[in-house]
Amino acid sequence: MSIARVLLAEVLAVLEHEPALAERVRRLFAPALPPSVDSEYETVRDFAARIGVSERHVFDLRKRRQIVTIGQGRSLRVDVRASLTQLREHRDDGIEREARAAARRAAGRVQ
């Protein structure tokens, strides 16, 4: 038997009889939990591809505070869930007013 195998067998035997020590070892070697879906972050490039706009437009959205971001520069990350929710709820009244005015002008020409 190798030394490592003998040592591991001895450690396992001790852990069977000492639950407090076994719990400490379990916590120490437990796998890290993946980040929850609520806090999923993407790079600017990935988020731009997700919503179908340029990276520059994502930076403009950030400047206008229409998306939620953390970090700055190359470390900038976009909170996907919060930003998508915010974009869905955002309403740009200027664009809507222009569209309604154009529709009224077009309707006036038809009559």
Domain ranges, ordered by start, for the chain:
1-30, 37-110
Mean pLDDT is lowest, of 7-11, 46-50, 106-110, for: 106-110
- The Cα 111–Cα 20 span in angstroms is 85
* Per-residue pLDDT at 35: 46
Question: For residue 2, which phi and psi values (nearest 5 degrees)?
Answer: -80, 160
Give residue 49's identity as a one-letter amino acid code: A
Pairwise pLDDT comparison (28 vs 75), residue with the higher score: 75
Please check whether residue 48 is in contact with residue 42, taking contact to mean a CB–CB distance below 8 angstroms: no
Please compute the mean of the pLDDT values over residues 12-29 and round it to a whole number. Answer: 82
Residue 59 has pLDDT above 90, yes or no: yes
C-alpha angle 31-33-37 in degrees, rounded to nearest 5:
155
How sure is the predictor about 62, in pLDDT bands with cuts at 50, 70 and 90? very high
Other CB atoms within a 10 A radius of the CB of residue 67 amount to: 23
Long-range contact pairs involving 59-66 (C-beta distance under 8 Å, separation at least 24): 61/87, 66/90
* Per-residue pLDDT at 33: 47
Q: Chain-wide mean pLDDT for the chain?
A: 82
How sure is the predictor about 34, in pLDDT bands with cuts at 50, 70 and 90? very low
